[in-house]
């Protein structure tokens, strides 16, 4: 467990031009390992993660990490639902956060090479990032997020649109990242993946946290009807 | 038709005989416009990237004004610079009127809005792509600007070439502030205007073809240079 936790969220709300994206949210995360956020499309998962990370405006309520906000932010990284690629080579993409933090080129490129090998991109360092396949792009985004050794990694559907094998590869990386002490907060539509990775589950519905329990409890004995219906694969209104 | 043919022949002879006057005014054309272009880019590119990443109160107004100024009539720019630089004007003491420096000043004013507007267009697109990532990485404003400028360098080259095209073919402003003085401020475009006025169409056309060839050559050269630098889709 990292120094960022426990995380206390109370009455947090994020809106844009009058539309509430997510909230009000009350949440307490002890941050032991991996927290998976699930819920139907449009339920506010992405918005919740962005609000916790601090990239979506907090219009009401509080988000309290165990350390001051700016310190917490510096210890986090975010992998987006749609990978954002810089128009540069693979290695330049991965090294970018280090270069922005003032690390020397040589060290940054060395570490980027290490990480690219760790995620299996070692053979395509000099390719333009845009030429990578969807799965490779996700791996690039993951390596770029991990290169600053964050204590907390947000992942927004890291395996959407990937096939079984690519998903397994990403999950293996995530598990090794988690094993090395980085906490994860991730969203997914894949209930199997949630079961494989989650210690805690946050179930979102209509922009609010509907249920927040340990994974074991959530998957064996969900408390609410909506969660039961969601687990059955019914359409949740 | 005969005039056009005569012009081609004239251009050919001017070039193969290394005509000294032609050489001089061509070099001056290049010197004036390339210097103006470099200065204009130093102003326009940072401005364009600032407009892309920073939200401030007058941003939309500034962008609107820049876009409108793209169509700035060179003659009017020339007139204003003339008034400012003339002996009784505020900058008269520098004695810049009827020098290449005055021509450069006028061209900078003409080129900046064009380069800034085109550059801003592509930087803004890139910024919408990069926005979430760069905000998440918490980079500084200057780092955002530098990242955008570097990653959009090909589009910026196009912006610069458009600026070069506007400058090298421009006659209204440099005619007024330069005065088309032989061996001092005469450039290709003002020479063409002069020869046309005199009725020497063949020479005017010859100079015209040299001007076109110059513009095309510079474009090809810069594109060639940039392509050998990085191979890729951007
Ligand atoms: N920039 C925005 N402007 C306006 N509304 C937005 C914006 N971003 C998201 N929303 C709205 O906020 C709600 C929550 O969106 P969000 O992206 O958080 O959902 P999600 O749970 O991540 O969905 P998905 O599973 O499809 O990724 C949606 O109704 C969405 O339309
Ligand atoms: Mg989402």
- Please tell me the predicted confidence (pLDDT) of residue B233: 47
Confidence check: pLDDT of B232 > 70: no
Confidence check: pLDDT of B234 > 50: no
Which residue from A100, A130, A131 is facing B137, i.e. has the nearest CB?
A100
A59 CB neighbour count, 10 Å cutoff: 15
A128–chain B nearest CA distance, Å:
7
- Please tell me the predicted confidence (pLDDT) of residue A122: 92
Cα dihedral B170→B172→B175→B177 (10° resolution): -100
Separation of CA B123 from chain center: 20
Task: Choose which CATH entry (3.40.50.300, 3.30.750.24, 3.30.465.10, 3.90.1570.10) describes domain A1-75+153-237.
Answer: 3.40.50.300
Minimum-distance ligand 1 atom for the alpha carbon of A43: 21
Question: CA–CA separation, A55 vs A17, rounded Å?
Answer: 16
**How remote is the CA of residue A204 from the centroid of ligand 2, in Å?**
11
Beta sheet of A7-16, edge-to-edge order:
A19-29, A7-16, A60-64
User: Which residues, by Cβ under 5 Å, contact ligand 2, an ion?
Assistant: A 46, 81
**How remote is the CA of residue A45 from the centroid of ligand 2, in Å?**
5
Task: Choose which CATH entry (3.40.50.720, 3.30.1330.60, 1.10.3720.10, 1.20.1730.10) describes domain B2-232.
Answer: 1.10.3720.10
B14 is written with which tokens? 């001017």
pLDDT in tens, B131-178: 999 999 999 999 999 999 999 998 999 999 999 999 999 999 999 999
Question: ipTM value of the model?
Answer: 0.92
Put simply, whether A221 touches B (Cβ < 8 Å) is: no
Question: What is the residue-wise DSSP string for chain B?
Answer: -HHHHHHHHHHHHHHHTT-HHHHHHHHHHHHHHHHHHHHHHHHHHHHHHHHHH---TTHHHHHHHHHHHTT--HHHHHHHHHHHHSTTSTTGGG--TTSHHHHHHHHHHHHHHHHHHHHHHHHHHHHHHHHHHHHHTT--HHHHHHHHHHHTHHHHHHHHHHHHHHHHT--HHHHHHH---TTTT--HHHHHHHHHHHT-HHHHHHHHHHHHHHHHHHHHHHHHHHHHH--S--
Task: Name the residue with tokens 């074991």.
Answer: A216
- Please tell me the predicted confidence (pLDDT) of residue A35: 94
Q: How confident is the model at residue B229 (pLDDT cuts 50, 70, 90)?
A: low
**What is the value of pTM for the model shown?**
0.90
Contacts of B130 in chain A (CB under 8 A): 84, 86
- Please tell me the predicted confidence (pLDDT) of residue B228: 52
Residue A220 DSSP SS3: helix
Which residue from A55, A80, A86 is facing B151, i.e. has the nearest CB?
A86
Give the mean model confidence (pLDDT) for residues B12-20.
84
Residue A76 belongs to what H/E stretch?
strand A76-79
Which ligand places an atom closest to the C-alpha of B131?
1
Average pLDDT of chain B to the nearest whole number = 91
pLDDT in tens, B100-122: 999 999 999 999 999 999 999 99
Q: Considering only CA atoms, which of B230, B197, B180 is closest in space to residue B78? A: B180
| Interchain pair B130, A86: CB under 8 A | yes
Confidence check: pLDDT of B181 > 60: yes
| Interchain pair B137, A97: CB under 8 A | yes
Per-residue pLDDT of chain A in tens (237 residues, 90 and over written 9): 578 888 999 999 999 998 999 979 999 988 778 999 999 999 999 999 999 999 999 999 999 999 998 899 999 999 999 999 999 999 999 999 999 999 999 999 999 999 999 999 999 999 999 999 988 999 999 999 999 999 999 999 998 878 888 899 999 999 999 999 999 999 999 999 999 999 999 999 999 999 899 989 999 988 888 888 889 888 877
Q: Considering only CA atoms, which of A14, A52, A10, A9 is closest in space to residue A207? A: A14
Question: CA–CA separation, A41 vs A1, rounded Å?
Answer: 30
Ligand 1 pocket member A161 (CB < 6 A) = no
Which residue from B129, B138, B147 is facing A74, i.e. has the nearest CB?
B138
For ligand 1, atom 31: residue with the closest CA: A42
- Please tell me the predicted confidence (pLDDT) of residue A1: 58
List the domain boundaries for chain B.
2-232
């Amino acid at each position: 467990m990292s120094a960022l936790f426990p995380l206390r969220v109370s009455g947090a709300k994020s809106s844009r031009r009058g539309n509430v994206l997510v909230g009000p949210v009350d949440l307490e995360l002890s941050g032991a390992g991996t927290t998976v956020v699930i819920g139907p499309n449009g339920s506010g998962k992405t918005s919740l993660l962005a609000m916790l990370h601090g990239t979506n405006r907090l219009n009401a309520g509080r988000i309290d990490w165990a350390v001051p906000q700016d310190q917490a932010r510096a210890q986090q990284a975010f992998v987006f639902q749609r990978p954002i690629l810089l128009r540069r080579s693979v290695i330049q993409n991965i090294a970018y956060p280090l270069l922005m933090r003032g690390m020397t080129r040589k060290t940054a490129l060395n570490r980027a090479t290490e990480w690219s090998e760790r995620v299996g991109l070692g053979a395509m360092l000099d390719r333009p990032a845009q030429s990578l396949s969807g799965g490779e792009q996700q791996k690039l985004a993951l390596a770029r997020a991990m290169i600053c050794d964050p204590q907390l990694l947000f992942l927004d559907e890291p395996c959407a649109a990937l096939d079984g094998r690519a998903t397994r590869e990403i999950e293996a990386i995530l598990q090794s990242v988690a094993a090395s002490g980085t906490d994860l907060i991730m969203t997914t539509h894949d209930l199997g993946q949630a079961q494989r990775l989650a210690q805690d589950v946050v179930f979102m519905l209509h922009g609010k946290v509907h249920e927040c329990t340990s994974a074991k409890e959530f998957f064996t004995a969900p408390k609410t009807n909506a969660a039961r219906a969601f687990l059955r694969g019914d359409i949740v209104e | 038709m005969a005039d056009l043919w005569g012009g081609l022949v004239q251009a050919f002879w001017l070039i193969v005989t290394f005509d000294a006057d032609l050489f001089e005014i061509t070099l001056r054309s290049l010197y004036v416009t390339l210097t103006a272009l470099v200065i204009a880019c130093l102003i326009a590119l940072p401005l364009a990237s600032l407009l892309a990443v920073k939200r401030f109160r007058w941003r939309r107004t500034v962008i609107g004004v820049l876009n409108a100024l793209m169509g700035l009539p060179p003659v009017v720019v020339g007139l204003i610079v003339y008034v400012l630089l003339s002996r009784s004007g505020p900058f008269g003491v520098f004695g810049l009127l009827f020098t290449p420096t005055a021509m450069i000043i006028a061209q900078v004013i003409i080129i900046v809005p064009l380069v800034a507007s085109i550059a801003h267009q592509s930087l803004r697109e890139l910024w919408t792509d990069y926005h979430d990532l760069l905000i998440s990485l918490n980079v500084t404003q200057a780092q955002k600007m530098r990242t955008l400028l570097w990653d959009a360098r090909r589009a910026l080259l196009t912006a610069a070439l458009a600026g070069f095209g506007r400058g090298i073919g421009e006659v209204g402003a440099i005619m007024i502030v330069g005065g088309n003085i032989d061996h001092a401020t005469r450039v290709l475009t003002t020479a063409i205007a002069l020869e046309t006025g005199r009725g020497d169409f063949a020479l005017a056309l010859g100079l015209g073809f040299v001007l076109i060839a110059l513009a095309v050559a510079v474009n090809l050269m810069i594109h060639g240079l940039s392509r050998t630098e990085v191979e890729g889709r951007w």
